[in-house]
Every structure is written in C-alpha cells, then in structure tokens.
Amino acid sequence: MDLILLILVPVLTLAALMTAGTKAQARMIAAAGTGVQLVLSVYLVIVYLMERGSGNIEQMLFTEKYVWFNTLNIYFSTGVDGISVSLILLTAIVTFTGVLASWDVDYLYKEFFISLIVLSTGVFGFFISLDLFTMFLFYELAVIPMYLLIGIWGSGKKEYSAMKLTLMLMGASAVLLVGLLGIYSYSSPTGATALTFNIIEIANVDIPVEAQRYFFPMVFIGFGVLGALFPFHTWSPDGHSSAPTAVSMLHAGVLMKMGGYGCLRVAMYLLPEAANEMAWIFIILTSISIVYGAFGAIVQTDLKYINAYSSVSHCGLVLFAILMINEIVMNGAVLQMISHGLMTALFFALIGMIYSRTHTRDIREMTGIMKLMPFLSVCYMIAGFASLGLPGLSGFVAEMTIFVGAFQNTDIFHRSVTILAASSIVITAVYILRVVAKILLGPAGDNLPSGIKDAVWNEKVVTIILIVAIAGMGLVPLWLSDMILNSLGPITEKLALIK
Amino acid sequence: MTIEQLLLMRHEIMLLIAAVIILIIELSAGKDNKSLMIPAAVIIFSLVTFIGFLPIETGKLFGGSYNTSDMIILMKNSLNIGVLIVIIQSAGWLKHSFENFDNSGGYFFIIISSVIGMDFMISAGDFLMFYIGLELATIPIAALAAVEKMKRRSSEAGIKLILSAALSSGILLFGISILYATNGSLFFSSLSSDNLNSSLQILAFIFVFTGVAFKISLVPFHLWTADVYEGAPVNISSFLSSISKASAVFILIILLFTVFNSLVSVWNTVLYYTAVITMTIGNLFAIRQQNMKRFLAFSSIAQAGFIPLGIIGGTQFGISAVIYFLLIYIFSNLGAFGVVSAISNATGKENMDDYNGLYRTNPKLSLVMMLSLFSLAGIPPVAGFFGKFFLFTAAAVQGYYILVFIAVVNATISLYYYLLVVKAMFINKSDSPIEFINNDNYTKAGLLICAIGIIIIGFAGIIFEFIESASTGI
C-alpha cells in the first residue's frame, strides 16, 4: 500500500473543507474524509498482516523515498512496522470519532474542522516517517493547531492554557531539535557517506558514546514532554481541561502517544548506549509521573482534570515501560499507548457529552446521572473499568504485560520501582470508583437542568466504536501483541547488544 | 570596453534605464494622467526582475572593482523580487494616503536608485565601489523615510536615519582607511591574499563590521531601528527591514569570506556573541511592543540574529542556507508588513489592540498575517521552518550546539509574541473590530505573491538546490 495516501487523504479533505459553505457540508466532508482515512488504516493493518504472513521479514514495509532536499540528503522516506501500524489505526479511530463528537460546533465550524484535520495530518505524517527531518516537521505541524483549537473553541481559562501548552511543547521541540541535529551531525562518523536523517541508516551507525550522553537526554526529554514526563507535565492538565471535546480526545488519545513513540523510535533505538546508561534517571522521573498523576487525580473535582491527571499517570507508565528495556515490557508499552489512547478518547468524549447536558464538570454538583442518561453512564463505567485494568478490557492486557515484563529485571532497583508503579493500579481504582459512585449512582440530583435526554445517534456511534475497540483489544489481544512484538526485535537487539 | 563587457553590469543598467523611463513617463504624462505611474512602474519593474533571471556571463570590470558571479546575480535577483513586491504594495499607500500623489514618479525613482546602490555594493571588488554603493543605497532611503513631510514622526525618522547612517559610515570609513594604511590597497583580492592578523587590522575589521552591522541592525547597533520603522511610512519600513537588511547581509558575507578570510577565528567569535545578543535583545523588546510597526521592527532585529548561524561555520551549505533564509524572510516580512500597511492605509490603526477580532471581519488579511507570522516564527509547513532549520543544521554540523540551543530557545520565545498577534486576530473579541477593508487589486496582488511564496518556497526543494548550486565561488 502506498503510505503517502495517509497524507494525501487529509490534504484532499482540507481542500474540500475550504470550499464548504454550511455547517452541514463542513461536518459531512470532515466525517467523510476521516472515515476514508479509517477505512485506509484498517486496510493497512490487513495488508500489513498479510505481507508478514507471507514471510516478509524486512524491518519496515511499504517503504518509499521521495527526494526533497537532494543536496542535504533529506528525503521524505516512509515505511511502517507493527508499532506504527497499530498507532496509525489508533489515530484513525480517534480522529473519526473526534469529528463525530464535535458534530455540534457552534461557531467557525469550517475553521474548526480544518484545524482538527491539520492536526491529524501531522500525527499520521509523524507515524509514517522514517526520517528525522520529516518526523520533526510533522511533530510541530501537529502541535501548532492546538493553539487555535484550544484558544478559539476552548472553555475556561483557555487563552492561558493554549499559550502554556504551545510554548511548553514548542520549548520541548527546541530541545529535541538540538538532539536531532546532533544525531544528524554524527550520522557518518567515518565521513565515508553523506550525513543522513534516515532512521534506518543511522541505526546501522555507531554514534560515539560521548555524543550519545549529550543527545539522549535532549531527545528523550524533547519527546518526553509530549508524553507528560514529570516535571514537564504541567501543560497537560490545563490544556486538556480547556480544550473542546474532540481536541481533548485527539490530544490525550493520540498526540501524547507521539511522545512515547518518539522516545522508543529515536531516543532508545538510535542512542542505545546512553539509553542503557541513563535509563535510571528517567525511570525515577516516570515513576514519579505514575504515582503523582494518580494521586493528583484523587484530589481533583473537575472531571476533565481527573482524566488529565490519570493521563499523566498512564502515559508515565508508557515511558516507564520503554525504559525497562526488554521485549515484553516494551510490547506492553505500545499496548498501553493504544489502550490508553482508546480509553482516554472515550473518557473525554463522554465527559464532553455529559457536560453539554449538565453544564457542569464538577463532581460535587452531580449525582445520579445513571437515572437521567443510562446509556452514557454505562459507557462511562466501562471506560472506568478499562482504566483500572479490569480483565477483558484493554487496560488489563497492557498493564499486565508491562508489570510482568518489568519484573523480569532482577536487580533490586528495577524491582522496587516496578512495585511502586504497580501500586498505581490501586490508586487508579480509588479515583475511578469514587467518581463512578459519586456522579453515576445514587438518587438523581435536583440541581441539574431539567429535561436531560440520553445520547443521540452521533454520540452513540462514537461511544460504540470506542467500546468495541477497547473490548476487542481486551478479548483478542494476541494478533496485536504479536504484530508489535515482531517489530520490536531490531530495537531490543540494539539495546541488548550493548548490555 | 565592448558591449559584452558592459552587459556584465546588466542589473544596474536595467535598473538605471527603468528609473529614467519612469522619470520620462512622469514628465510627459501631464497633470491628469498621474494614475498611469503605478501600473507603469509595476510593469517596468516586473520586466527588470524577469530579465535579471536570464542567463548571462560572469566576470570582472574596471580592473576588478566590479565583479559578478552566479552567487552575486542570485543575490541581486532575490533583492529584485523583494523590491517588486514592495512596489506593488506601495500602490495602495500612494493612492490613498500619500500627500503628494503627483510625486509618485519620484518615489519610484528614489527606490530604484537605492536598489542600484545595493547592486553596486554587492558587486564591489574594492572598498571604493563598496562605499559608493553603500551610500547610494542609504541616502535615498532617508529621503523616503521623511517623505510624508507633514507628519512630524516621518521627518524625525528621516533625520534619525540619516544621522545614524552618517555616524556608521564614519566608523566604516575609519576601518577602511586603517586597512589601506596597513596594506596599501583597497582591492578585496589583494587584501585577502595578504595575511591580515595585526591588532590594527583586527580593529579595522571591527570598524567595518560595525558599519555593516548598523545596516543589518544587529545589537548593539539597532537603536535607530524601532524609531525609524515607526515613524516612516509602512512601505519604507518594509523596504528597510527586508531589502536593505538582506543586501547588507549579502555584502557582509562577501567581505567576511574574501577580505577577512584570514581573520576567521576573530569573526567567528564576534558573530557568535552578536548572534546571541541580537536574538535575545530583539526578542525581549518585541514582547512588550503594542505598535505593530515597532513590533515588526524588533521582530526583524531578532530575525537578523539568526543569520550569523549560517555564516559562522564558513561552509558553502551555510551560505546557501543564509540566502535561502533571507529569500523566505523577504516574503514573510513583506507579507506581515503588507497587512499592516493595508490596515493602516484604510483605517490609520496600527496598534495590536486594534487587531482584536480581525478574523471575523477580514478573514483573508488575517490568514495572510498568520501565514507570515508563522513563517517568521519557523512553524511548519510554511517556508520559515525550512529556512530556520537549515540555518540550525549548518551551525550544528560545525559543532556549535550551544549556539543552536540558544537560537532554538529564542525561536520559541519569538513564537510567544507572534502568537499574541494571532491571538488578537483570531481569539480576542472586540466591540468595534476593524470594518471590512476592500483592498485595491495591487494590495491583493502583493499579499497574494507573499502568501504563495511563503507556502511554496519550503516545499520546493528545487529552489534550495538552485541556490546551493549558485552559491559557489567565494
């Protein structure tokens, strides 16, 4: 399959959106474009599995190179392995449901969908890139529409949050850029070949350890900020709580995964010696993320803040797992990215739907929603159970894999942080069950607006798609985890050779 | 001198002919047909720009005081493109706000004279030609800055510009005279073959650098910039901030790589610290500005701070990155100034607060402004990203990681204030936003060219390759 299609379809959708006149046209075009994208992504998974099934053991499939800046050796090289394929599928699902969830944007609808699709273009481009230059380009392309999306259509202290988010992420990309340029300038230590940005080619080169020690922290922090690495996570709760529903979904569901993916694909894969040496620093930071995020969620009273802090905790787990360096736990990391992406998108979609009916997100002001909106409430419960790791749903698969894998490191340091991280499951249960008990159960509150109706069709489609995906991943996880595991080989090999 | 030799000066000769034709048209048009001047000037200058791109021989004239190479021609062509946009953009101002519309021929004549000066300056092979070109480039602009005679700020800007320019010329001349005293020659080629390394020659370098840095408005030689940009008509400010600045960078590159090539370690240090100070100071001042012209003035100072990153390594790639960056900068800066000019002409409003809610009433102007600002900030997918990225790459490959880090952090700071304008236009609400502005076709064309340039130059890798293939021979 031609991967460039994954960029072309959103670009064509954008072009079509520019011509849209009415709100109905704009949202139909956006839904159609992202729908086609979803179909393409499912098709990509199928052809990928077939190709692997027929015995193709290349590291990257469907690779393609388009010359861009010839003299600089910059290409737009694309290619996918199991990790990127599964994340592309996640992105397509979340984008499509995000468009459906914002069916009722009330003003500047055309601009809203344009920004949303620019954002998703950035994410798709990021996941199919095999070139540090284009990867960085798409990373920034995905971040900048967030400013407009939160600033224009957000709520609460939106201007502050939008500026904080943009500046922190762009600041991170500043650090990241220096790291990437460092990798570039060491990509040909003998001088025999031209310097290159191509990830696969750089992977065959041994970058001197002294240089790696400088650039690993830069790249890891640069991507890690997007993955809500403590202490650089503060943009995330503010950003999520001010963003409109679809943007929270995309942001927590997909954008934060770019951080994890970047850490895995660039920091760990290209700078393995430094990764082994310095992992312990970041393991401590991510452990703090995990526990601190979970405790943060306990004390919050705004539904979106609760979820934002829970995202910090769960994304911390992703980075934690990546740093544990073995195949099982890294497999768990990617599974956790997908699981958290789906479940947090569901959460934010539901919070948006509930908020549009109750006009409050404060859990102290809501009781007995189950009686008023049974459908949405049940969905919320399912999302909660997935979040706390109930077997049969996606969270269980991911977290089990992570903790089992992490425990295979036999030294006392790794074991103790693993136990610490695993304790977050209990804390998660506390805040999830507290919210469920507080707002869903009990007698219907009388301070809520009267005449509340349950979900309408587009909301039902959103929740059902996401729940099916979550349950599907929880019940039949093997194909997914195999697909990811097969692709982790080159990365873990490179990391383990050095040990 | 044969006609072929004379044709080596094609750019200057074409510009001279254009300037004279414009004067003749103005004289013969009579009082009633003054409106002919604008289309005539646009057409003539488009022709000049186009002819500049036709292939031509390169060589030396006047015993080496004048020389051309592929790179110099490329530089002149980039300037021409920028000047064409400025001329198109000034049509709106000439028609609506210029007090002496009758003198619009004079306006074009002065602009073109200044460009002739820049072209001679870039082509210079000795310090005499260089100095004549420099003065010819500066003095007409001072006249233009003061062109709105009835406005006090405009006269003030003109005086300020001419006084600071005179001072910097004095310093520059002092530097040149020291060079002549120590080497006995004014020719770049003989100066560069001598090994300049005595402390007197280093002093001479510092003086010459100061003179040129004044024109690029590198900190600490930037103090005139904001006042002049604010006082002068918008189109003159845009000319000063893009064309004039670019031409000074071009000659700086040529001087550093020919005359001062033996002082590499000295000028690397000087450029390093100038870059750091310029970016930081420019950014910090830009954050607090409310007047859009002052805002763009400080933003252009900060932008100039990025340029040394390409020069500092002394590589061919670095030079192409600088030329590429400047080409993009010309488009982005003229785009931003074009919007400011359109709004200022129609309403007289120049403050950032006035831009609140602009998107609701003037979506197209806001979009061009946003594109230009994103390009200045270096946000993909617009061209500014590529320009900055290559500058950073050029410095990083040479091992200047700390400088690159400072530059990237500064780029992030600059994003903050560019976003303030975007916020005003798109997010802030206003009770009395600027009414819909029905721009004339020239303004529209000028902005359209900028927008297309900003979008296309980044994606078209071929443009960078063309620049790289031409920027050899220093």
Confidence of residue B470 (pLDDT cuts 50, 70, 90): confident
A471 CB-contact burial (10 Å; exposed 0-12 / middle 13-18 / buried 19+): middle
* Nearest beta carbon to residue B404 from set A67, A136, A181: A181
User: How many angstroms separate the CA atoms of A27 and B297, rounded?
Assistant: 41
CB pair distance less than 8 Å for A137 and B380: yes
Residues of B in contact with A166 (CB under 8 A): 415, 419
Name which of A69, A136, A149 to mutate to probe chain B: the one with the most chain B Cβ atoms within 10 A of its Cβ. A69
pLDDT at B347 over 60: yes
Paired sense of beta strands B60-61 and B66-67, if any: antiparallel
pLDDT at B115 over 90: yes
Q: Which of A354-358, B60-64, B95-99, B408-412 is the least confident region?
A: B95-99
Structural contact between residues B56 and B9, judged by C-beta atoms closer than 8 angstroms: no
Q: Give the chain B residue nearest A121 (alpha carbons).
A: B381
pLDDT confidence of residue A454? 76
CB count within 10 Å of CB B43 equals 10
Percent of chain B whose pLDDT exceeds 90: 23
* Nearest beta carbon to residue A178 from set B399, B404, B468: B404
Q: Give the chain B residue nearest A69 (alpha carbons).
A: B461
CB pair distance less than 8 Å for B412 and A140: no
Q: Give the chain A residue nearest B429 (alpha carbons).
A: A152
CA distances from A186 to A180, A296, A476 (A): 10, 41, 43
pLDDT confidence of residue B97? 62
CB pair distance less than 8 Å for B392 and A181: yes
Q: What sign does the dihedral A72-A77-A83-A85 (CA atoms) show? A: positive
Name which of A178, A212, A213 to mutate to probe chain B: the one with the most chain B Cβ atoms within 10 A of its Cβ. A178
CA distances from B144 to B98, B193, B240, B336, B416 (A): 12, 40, 10, 20, 33
Residues of A in contact with B409 (CB under 8 A): 171, 174
Residue of A370, A373, A336 whose CA lies nearest to A443:
A370
Confidence of residue B98 (pLDDT cuts 50, 70, 90): low
Name which of B418, B423, B456 to mutate to probe chain A: the one with the most chain A Cβ atoms within 10 A of its Cβ. B423
pLDDT one-digit tens code per residue, B28-38: 876 666 677 88
Structural contact between residues B274 and B249, judged by C-beta atoms closer than 8 angstroms: no
CB pair distance less than 8 Å for A72 and B317: yes
pLDDT confidence of residue B99? 53
pLDDT at A376 over 90: no
On average, the pLDDT of chain A sits at 86
What is the identity of the amino acid at B62?
F
pLDDT one-digit tens code per residue, A230-249: 888 888 888 888 888 888 88
Expressed as residue numbers, the domain containing B201 is 3-470
pLDDT one-digit tens code per residue, B241-277: 899 999 999 999 988 888 888 888 888 899 999 999 9
Mean pLDDT of B68-88: 90
pLDDT confidence of residue A270? 87
Mean pLDDT of A462-481: 87
Structural contact between residues A294 and A310, judged by C-beta atoms closer than 8 angstroms: yes
Structural contact between residues B286 and B414, judged by C-beta atoms closer than 8 angstroms: yes
Residues of B in contact with A148 (CB under 8 A): 422, 426-427
CA distances from B433 to A34, A112, B79, B354 (A): 35, 22, 36, 7
Domain boundaries, chain A: 5-498
Residues of B in contact with A72 (CB under 8 A): 317, 390, 393, 464
pLDDT confidence of residue A152? 86
CB count within 10 Å of CB A465 equals 20
Q: Which of A119-123, A377-381, B62-66, B139-143 is the least confident region?
A: B62-66
Helices A23-53 and A5-19: crossing angle in degrees, nearest 10, is 170
User: How many angstroms separate the CA atoms of A259 and A222, rounded?
Assistant: 8
pLDDT one-digit tens code per residue, A25-36: 888 888 888 999
pLDDT one-digit tens code per residue, A383-424: 888 888 888 888 888 888 888 888 888 888 888 888 888 888
pLDDT confidence of residue B329? 92
Confidence of residue A371 (pLDDT cuts 50, 70, 90): confident
Residues of B in contact with A140 (CB under 8 A): 379-380, 385
**How many Å lie between the alpha carbon of A137 and the closest alpha carbon of chain B?**
6
Mean pLDDT of A141-147: 88
Residue of B191, B195, B167 whose CA lies nearest to B180:
B191
Q: Which of A494-498, B298-302, B454-458 is the least confident region?
A: A494-498
For chain B, the domain total comes to: 1
Confidence of residue A123 (pLDDT cuts 50, 70, 90): very high
Please, where are the H alpha helices in B53-98? 70-96
Q: In the 8-state DSSP scheme, what is residue A67?
A: E
Residue of A346, A315, A319, A330 whose CA lies nearest to A404:
A330
Percent of chain A whose pLDDT exceeds 70: 98
A161-200 residues labelled b (16+ CB within 10 A) or e (exposed): bbbbbbbbbbbbbbbbbbbbbbbbbbbbeeeeeebbbbbb
User: How many angstroms separate the CA atoms of A114 and A152, rounded?
Assistant: 13
pLDDT one-digit tens code per residue, B140-164: 888 888 877 777 888 888 888 889 8
A310 CB-contact burial (10 Å; exposed 0-12 / middle 13-18 / buried 19+): buried
**How many Å lie between the alpha carbon of B469 and the closest alpha carbon of chain A?**
9
Residue linked to tokens 């109905």: A24
pLDDT at A102 over 80: yes
What is the phi/psi pair of residue A479, to 5°?
A: -60, -40
